[in-house]
Structure 1
Amino acid sequence: MICAYDKNYLAAAQKNLARMLDYLVNDLHHPLETAWQWFLASELSARFEQGDCTVLVGLSGVELAHTVLEQAREPAPVQQPSYAYDRSPEYWTGWALAYYQWFTGLRFAEIEQAVPITEVRLLYTPYHEMDVRQFADKMNELYRAAKPETNLKALRALAGLSQSELAEQADVPVRTIQQYEQRQKDINKAQAETLLRLARTLNCNVEDLMEKVPPSISA
């Protein structure tokens, strides 16, 4: 699996996203959902996802929060950040989400659409005491439940094609398409030529066909 960015930046990214949420919610008293929507709407979100080191490690969590507030046109905070010994559920939520986004390469908005941040926050107990990979396994389960269709099936439906029509136009066996859509075969392991034919027919990029969420996370 190809992760979103170099693992060397992951620990700092987790800490900073965690601190951003903790500061916005517990020091500035903004609702968690509101704070997260501000982040998703900011340009910092895309830069974070793409592994921009000036965001991942160039800004502290509090500085991230200040930039998010500025871009949301919210008043500049006067409350100074506090530093509690115990990590809050909101801190853990940001820390865990940063890991999951890094591991899958999904956009934060895609994660939010499938598993809203309020649901992620509810996973604090018991997952904050577990290995983060166990949290990621649970997130995969929730993501798949919310988005049962493969990208191939969704793109085919968007193009208004039946499986047989796609098979004919892309010169790919209809049974192969059925197996990919039913996850009986892993489209991520498909031959490059097959993916190119499907992508050309569906007018999308090869990356759009790939499944970013695996059934489970290996150690």
Structure 2
Amino acid sequence: MIHAYDKSYLSAAQKNLARMLDYLVNDLHYPLETAWQWFVTSELSARFEQGDCSALVGLSGVELARAVLEQAGEAVPMQKPSYAYDRSPEYWTGWALAYYQWLTSLRFAEIEQAVSITKVRLLYTPYHEMDVRQFADKMNELYRAAKPETNLKAMRTLAGLSQSELAGQADVPVRTIQQYEQRQKDINKAQAETLLRLARALNCNVEDLIEKVPPLNFK
């Protein structure tokens, strides 16, 4: 699996995203959903996803929160953050989501579309007491349930091609396409030439066909 950025930045990135949410929700009293939407739609979110060091570790969590407010066109208060001994559920939510985004390389908007921030927050109990990898397994389960179609099928449907038509244009056996779409075979392990032919026929990038969340059968 290809991660979003080098693991050496992960711990700091988790702490900063966690602190950002904690500050916006518990110090500034914005609704969690509103605060998260501001971040997801901000330019900072894209930089975070791409492993931009200035976004991952160049700002503290509070500075990140203030930058998000500024980009959202909101007033930027200079209120000092409070530091509770126990980490809040919102802190854990940001911390866990930063890990999941790094693990899968999904965009935060893709994660939100499949599993809302509200649902992630509800996973606080019992997952905050578990290894974060167990949280990631649960997120994968929820993501697959929300988006049962493979990327290949989604791109084929978008292109308006049947499986037989795609097979003819890409010179890939129709049975192979069926197996990828039904997750009987793992497209992430397909030969590079096969992926290139499919991508050319679908007028997309190879990366658009790769499954960032592993199919259950290939976990």
Contact 2:140 2:214 (C-alpha < 8 Å) held by counterparts: yes
Which residue identity does 1:11 align to in structure 2? S
In structure 2, how many angstroms separate the alpha carbons of the residues matched to 1:201 and 1:215?
A: 24
Shift of 1:79: 2.2
What pairs with 1:123-134 in structure 2 (closer than 5 Å)?
123-134=123-134
Gaps of 5+ in 2: none
| Alignment partner of 1:8 is 2:15 | no
| Alignment partner of 1:109 is 2:109 | yes
In structure 2, how many angstroms separate the alpha carbons of the residues matched to 1:76 and 1:45?
A: 18
Structure 1 residues 88-136: Cα deviation after superposition (integer angstroms, max 9, x where no partner)? 0000000000000000000000000000000000000000000000000
| Alignment partner of 1:167 is 2:171 | no
In structure 1, how many angstroms separate the alpha carbons of the residues matched to 2:63 and 2:12?
A: 14
Over the matched positions of the two proteins, sequence identity in percent amounts to: 88
Q: What is the TM-score when the length of structure 2 is the normalising length?
A: 0.98
SS of the aligned residue for 1:167 comes to: helix
Shift of 1:73: 0.7
In structure 2, how many angstroms separate the alpha carbons of the residues matched to 1:84 and 1:57?
A: 22
Contact 2:183 2:215 (C-alpha < 8 Å) held by counterparts: no
Question: Runs of 4+ in structure 1 displaced over 3 angstroms?
Answer: none
Gaps of 5+ in 1: none
Shift of 1:215: 3.7
Shift of 1:80: 1.4
In structure 2, how many angstroms separate the alpha carbons of the residues matched to 1:27 and 1:77?
A: 10
SS of the aligned residue for 1:144 comes to: helix
SS of the aligned residue for 1:113 comes to: helix
Shift of 1:77: 1.1
What pairs with 1:63-74 in structure 2 (closer than 5 Å)?
63-74=63-74
Aligned to 1:86: 86
Structure 1 residues 48-101: Cα deviation after superposition (integer angstroms, max 9, x where no partner)? 000001111110000000000000110111421000010000000000000000
Aligned to 2:148: 148
In structure 1, how many angstroms separate the alpha carbons of the residues matched to 2:155 and 2:208?
A: 9
In structure 2, how many angstroms separate the alpha carbons of the residues matched to 1:79 and 1:195?
A: 52
In structure 1, how many angstroms separate the alpha carbons of the residues matched to 2:72 and 2:209?
A: 33
Aligned to 1:46: 46
Q: How many pairs are equivalent?
A: 218
Which residue identity does 2:59 align to in structure 1? L
Q: What is the TM-score when the length of structure 1 is the normalising length?
A: 0.98
Structure 1 residues 13-50: Cα deviation after superposition (integer angstroms, max 9, x where no partner)? 00000000000000000000000000011100000000
Q: Aligned-pair RMSD on alpha carbons?
A: 1.2
Aligned to 2:204: 204
Q: Once structures 1 and 2 are overlaid, which stretch shifts more, 79-88 or 143-152?
A: 79-88
In structure 1, how many angstroms separate the alpha carbons of the residues matched to 2:37 and 2:188?
A: 31
In structure 1, how many angstroms separate the alpha carbons of the residues matched to 2:104 and 2:2?
A: 8
In structure 2, how many angstroms separate the alpha carbons of the residues matched to 1:53 and 1:169?
A: 42
In structure 2, how many angstroms separate the alpha carbons of the residues matched to 1:59 and 1:11?
A: 14
In structure 2, how many angstroms separate the alpha carbons of the residues matched to 1:168 and 1:52?
A: 41
Which residue identity does 2:62 align to in structure 1? V
SS of the aligned residue for 2:101 comes to: helix
SS of the aligned residue for 1:58 comes to: coil
